[in-house]
Amino acid sequence: MDFNTRIIDATADLACAFKPNSAFYEKLGSEGVAALEETIRYIKHSYPRVPVILDFKRGDIGNTNNGYVEEAFDRFGADAVTVHPYLGREALAPFLDRTDKGILVLARTSNPGAGEFQDLPVDLNRLSDFYKKRFGDLEGLREMTGDDVFPLYQIIAYAAAVNWNSNGNVGLVAGATSPVELAEIRRIAGETPILIPGIGAQGGDVESTVIAGRDSNKQGMIINASRSIIFASSGPDFAGAARAETQRLTNEINQYRLAT
């Protein structure tokens, strides 16, 4: 916990959110889960204005999701979570119905193999009424772009940001490693917040990411950097090094965010 709290203390005034990844705690068993609980509790107590995004990418049938909702929000106290849309809106209802929490839906991820399924073409003219009902009204997407065929990630982005967002609590996840796709998601999703992983150790470019991801107010992005910050130094100065890297990245983001 000393490592976590020192990183948090060193960066809290610069961070728009903290995003612990549950897998790195869960793999350590009960002690790891306890450390995750304690880490979130520390943020809530010491820096209550900084939201906590629990990165756990859950998504199952509705009844199982009820358990995940209780785990994320009622046990851990997260303010937002990442979820995957593969089982559809009906299955995600327990998350989406938590109007006091943010639900960040995976649209175009940052891993090298993301396009294997996420880029598959979907022809709106060939969708049956069943799928149209499941996705919701997609005519707005057609009208917005003038196209009939879209990669699956764009269908997901539109469905989540427009058709699933009746409570105003939905955001999207789109990787910095694919700025062209990120720009398409921003065009489709409007002012919807986008969590953007892939900066830092994964090699995403800050300038192209910010230009592609900013909304009409030059905001709307939660740009994630993890390893490049927390492992900025392996020495006793790790907290100071983490702050320096966070400040450097913040300055770079703002340089491009505010550019005309």
Strand order, beta sheet including 102-108:
53-58, 80-83, 102-108, 170-174, 194-196, 221-223
Q: Could you give the CA distance from residue 247 to residue 5 in angstroms, rounded to a whole number?
A: 18
List the catalytic residue out of 19, 27, 44, 57.
57
**Cβ of 158: how many Cβ atoms within 10 Å?**
28
Is 57 one of the annotated active-site residues of the chain? yes
Planar angle of CA 80, 83, 89, nearest 5 degrees? 110
Q: Could you give the CA distance from residue 203 to residue 205 in angstroms, rounded to a whole number?
A: 6
Q: Residue 154 phi/psi, 5° resolution?
A: -75, -35
Alpha-helical runs (H) found in the chain: 2-11, 22-26, 30-46, 62-69, 89-96, 115-118, 129-135, 139-145, 152-158, 179-189, 206-213, 227-230, 238-257
Give residues with Cβ within 8 angstroms of 64, minimum separation 6. Answer: none
Catalytic residues: 57
